[in-house]
Structure 1
């Protein structure tokens, strides 16, 4: 099973945003940062999950994925497979589509302090964007 920690961050709401992804797989860790442009914090959280699914599709095809996120909105939306929010709906659809590449994808909410590594990566992605 592959453990995937995701976080999104935004400097302003909306504002410059970034995604941080920290993956534990086969006794190895992987770190990714992605500047995301102008998004709300919640949108950045969804985009972090989408980016992580794309990475896993490429690097860990056919594996079981266990996602950890400190975003209750993302975890609840994905687990319920429903959102009334028009902004989140296409993001949920993308997560659904990308999740279909794996036999099982689990999502678990974790407290922010347990997601500090992904948080640091997301914040560094904003800094990368600020340099451009």
Structure 2
């Protein structure tokens, strides 16, 4: 048994990151429903289900030093930041999300605008008593859950540094761990998902509309509708 293999798991590369991949009796990636389970650390509690086409063998080369490992944190599966928000694939699902809380915590709502090949869908939901951060997370989760196809490119735009930090920068979920875990697991089901940080109230039409949808959900609840 090598340092790159333990019973049921072995080291491979997922995109640019080294990961542990669940294997079958022959030592090959264990594929179930066209997905393979991976972990960044064997002792981490959660797993990601990814497209096996994005896995590759480790290349032989110099080993990373312990100090370098401490300085580098891997990103969660198939989540990344895209600076140029205009360079989306033609067949991408474009999503803008926002969450709002009146009181923080207080009555909360979520909003999302989803676009795909000229079609548009809007989501506006009241989610009860919650913080603004919970509403921001729930907005992304609800938008992704609404997508029936997980094989299309998906670009999610959020103005929440909290959401972006958790999903792209791999921040530790000190609060709302169950919701964060569920969102990360859902995100891992998409073959090409990018979370893009945008500035709030900067004139981005769909971002402004998502904000309106979130606050409208609270207003309608307060009005008894």
Residues 1:117 and 2:209 aligned together = yes
Q: 1:13 aligns with which of 90, 104, 108?
A: 104
Segments of 4+ moved more than 4 angstroms: none
Tell which structure's C-alpha radius of gyration is larger.
Answer: 2
Q: CA deviation at 1:65?
A: 0.8
SS at match of 2:157: strand
Instruction: Assess if the C-alpha contact under 8 Å between 2:150 and 2:191 holds in 1.
Output: no
Q: CA deviation at 1:84?
A: 4.2
2:186 maps to what in 1? Answer: 98
Instruction: Assess if the C-alpha contact under 8 Å between 1:81 and 1:92 holds in 2.
Output: no
Q: Which runs of 5+ in 1 are unaligned?
A: none
SS at match of 2:146: helix
**How many residues align structurally?**
129
Which TM-score applies when normalising by structure 2?
0.55
Task: Output the CA distance in 2 between the equivalents of 1:84 and 1:91.
Answer: 9
Which TM-score applies when normalising by structure 1?
0.91
2:57 maps to what in 1? Answer: none
Structure with the greater relative contact order (CA < 8 A, sep ≥ 6): 1 or 2? 1
Q: Which runs of 5+ in 2 are unaligned?
A: 1-91
SS at match of 2:94: strand
Q: Which has the larger helix fraction?
A: 1
Task: Output the CA distance in 1 between the equivalents of 2:175 and 2:118.
Answer: 39
Q: Counterparts in 2 of 1:51-130, with a 5 A limit? A: 51-56=142-147, 58=148, 60-87=149-176, 89-113=177-201, 114=204, 115-130=207-222
2:88 maps to what in 1? Answer: none
Residues 1:41 and 2:132 aligned together = yes
| RMSD, matched Cα | 1.4
Task: Output the CA distance in 2 between the equivalents of 1:100 and 1:85.
Answer: 20
